[in-house]
Structure 1
């Protein structure tokens, strides 16, 4: 087994391993991976999530009720907020409570507890779905009454960067691309379920741009952004070196589901109308589903994102190819019984 080590940054510098780390959303896909990586490096790691995990020193809590878990975060050097509404189907009220009020609560806890750095995990969804090709961190964030997840992410970034600008605490914002790998609900588990049901639909012929980043590469980028002085006060895009199409990516799920060819497609306006109808019916029947118009918009993105800033300032360099990442993902899906030989 390879011994865990910190990633090496631009110019050969390596971030110091933080003495103690606190992670919100510590039971989630990214949060759990970060917790394990920092623990393997010898850091003291604690966290909170909706459900406790005593074995990993994770307490039960809610971003909107920080008094229940704030003491558990006291004394941490590094505070990483991965907790979020991981859904494209939530109501505005929930997004506002978690992505704005909840993020401010996290900042308050980190400041009161003496943290030296606050890292907020946002998303490229903050850019919307019609951003220009090779969009960098200076591009506009999305606003409006559609694409709620992206609007909420942009609002959460504002809260964090305002705190940094006010001198309250050193902050860094990370915008991952489409994070996949063993344990990914958004890009492995849920699409596979939809493929098995024959309900995986792609807009615009599947030509939408998909920006995959394997979870191990994302962890490297987060640790560089969190540990290097060059990360203070910045937003960083972290993704792979090159994109693919939604058709190419999700053809794997279609195959894993035992289907031939590729997922069905519809023009975006028809796909959005169909999923809007399904979304409303599911709401009436109280069925939870990620079949929403916003999902169709996300899968219709027309541009890639630039990781040049992260490369230049942090020395970030993705190492896991898409082919290798998909192979590892398929192995995990088979091992966990979600697909059969």
Structure 2
């Protein structure tokens, strides 16, 4: 990575580059991108993930057993938690252990290790799938039996804000939109697999709102949120300047998968019933799959999110258009042999 620069804040200020950063989920899509960006800026970067990467100073561990990796985080100025259950198919207990209790473990490790700032990577899923147009950070988070991933994200935010309110450590929460780009499992690799198999289905005729944000733009936003004083104690939405529909976005995967026409479109009630059956069968057969009712709810979102707060307070400005982001994504998929 060459010529890497910090993004500029609202008043043209440059966020301070931390001397040292610790990242959980450091081998993941967002975690590795952050790792590389901070390292290119000259920071000392360490991390934790399920699998170790000694070459990059990443130790093995998970959020439920912090005693195995806490020592590795000592002395880092900035602690960024990207680790979570990145799935719409997990059980309630798994979400609670990792995405809620595990976040409290991260806070404890960060505080004990002397970190000055804690950044939690949440998700707009915390808002649920039925929210008003241009929903901002004051909207309520989702609760209930459905959409477990979003409920867990909202609960994780409560843990972080409680720590900040108690004066334990300065915290900031980032809610990314639908993060895509080279290496994205959620929005490139998995939907492409479904498209190739002919099982990529879109509820509500594909009219559900999709809020894409290219990975490079997200990194800019996170660095502004992590490095500017005015971001302390706040939640920020980070997405593109304008949304699209699920049909527009996923038609690309359908084409990349060598299929003509468009993905299968179903009424929401039928899509939920069908995926409920498939999900239960997959559980019995111990098959990992993201074909779940919660995926159908996610593909049925009713509104866009507002990034006005991040623009106003941080100077956040997404630069990569959807057309350009998809072009780069397709180029990566071809280079990695996933499409021909």
- TM, length-normalised to structure 1: 0.99
Q: Equivalent residue of 2:23, what SS?
A: strand
1:87 is paired with a residue of what secondary structure?
A: coil
Structure 2 CA distance for aligned equivalents of residues 247 and 206 of structure 1: 4
SS in 2 for 1:22: strand
1:130-279 matches, cutoff 5 A: 130-279=130-279
Task: Indicate yes or no: 2:265 matched with 1:282.
Answer: no
CA distance in 2, matches of 1:269, 1:196: 24
Structure 2 residue 27 is matched with structure 1 residue 27: yes
Distance 1:88 1:78 in 2: 29
Partners of 2:278 and 2:129 in 1: how far apart? 21
| Match of residue 47 from structure 2 | 47
Task: Tell me how far 1:16 sits from its aligned partner.
Answer: 1.1
- Aligned-pair CA distance for 1:2: 4.2
Deviations 1:77-98 (A, max 9, x none): 0000000000000000000001
**Alpha-carbon displacement from aligned partner over 1:217-255 (angstroms, at most 9, x marks no partner):** 000000000000011000000000000000000000000
Partner of 2:121: 121
SS of the aligned residue for 1:96 comes to: helix
Q: Distance in 2 between matches of 1:164 and 1:72?
A: 23
* 2:103 equivalent in structure 1: 103
- Per-residue deviation at 1:294? 0.1
Mapped to 2, the partners of 1:284 and 1:205 lie a distance apart of 30
Alignment of 1:335 onto 2:335: yes
Quick one: distance in 1 between partners of 2:23 and 2:286? 31
Q: Does 2:91 match 1:61? A: no
Render the CA deviation track for 1:167-193: whole Å, top value 9, x for unaligned: 000000000000000000000000000
TM-score, normalization: structure 2? 1.00
Question: Could you list the per-position Cα deviations for residues 284-327 of structure 1 after superposition, in whole angstroms to 9, with x for gaps in the alignment?
Answer: 11111000000000000010000000000000000000000000
1:237-291 Cα offsets, whole Å, 9 max, x none, are 0000000000000000000001112101100010000000000011111111000
1:319 corresponds to: 319
Q: How many residues of Structure 1 are paired with residues of Structure 2 in the alignment?
A: 340
Unaligned 5+ runs, structure 2? none
Structure 1 residue ranges, 4+ long, deviating more than 3 angstroms after superposition? none
SS, match of residue 10 in structure 1: coil
Quote the RMSD (CA, aligned, Å). 0.6
Q: Tell me the alpha carbon deviations over residues 114-151 of structure 1, each in whole angstroms, 9 at most, x when there is no partner.
A: 00000000000000000000000000100000000000
How many Å apart are 1:101 and its aligned residue? 0.8
SS of aligned partner of 1:280: helix
SS at match of 1:46: strand
Secondary structure of 1:323's match?
helix
Q: Within 1, Cα distance between the matches of 2:80 and 2:297?
A: 29
Give unmatched runs, 5+ long, in structure 1.
none
